[in-house]
Amino acid sequence: GEFEIIDDHRAGKIVVNLIGRVNKCGCISPRFDVKVPAIETWCNNLLPSRQFGFLVFTTSSGIMDHEEARRKHTGGKILGFFY
């Protein structure tokens, strides 16, 4: 889907337009630091299968899912997950 970043002069908000259904979503608190080799471990712990669902990270290159973070070879802090 598409997403829109809303600047409310505070922390900001992200509005996501979904294409399909969301079975489960969650926020990870505290925001743990995740290095590139540990992304696979987090995927195994939080997602139901390999090709199903996404982890959301905030990195120095912006907010991205785990697949894009792995492609760009960048780690960051984990925000949450959905599938």
Alpha carbons 83 and 46: distance in angstroms, whole number: 10
The pTM score is: 0.74
Strand 13-17 versus strand 25-27 pairing type: unpaired
pLDDT band at 1 (very low <50, low <70, confident <90, very high): low
Alpha carbons 23 and 44: distance in angstroms, whole number: 17
pLDDT band at 68 (very low <50, low <70, confident <90, very high): very high
pLDDT band at 21 (very low <50, low <70, confident <90, very high): confident
Query: Which pLDDT does position 20 carry in this prediction?
Result: 82
Query: Which pLDDT does position 5 carry in this prediction?
Result: 83
Closest CA to 65 of 29, 21, 16: 16
More confident residue, 11 or 59: 59
Alpha carbons 18 and 8: distance in angstroms, whole number: 22
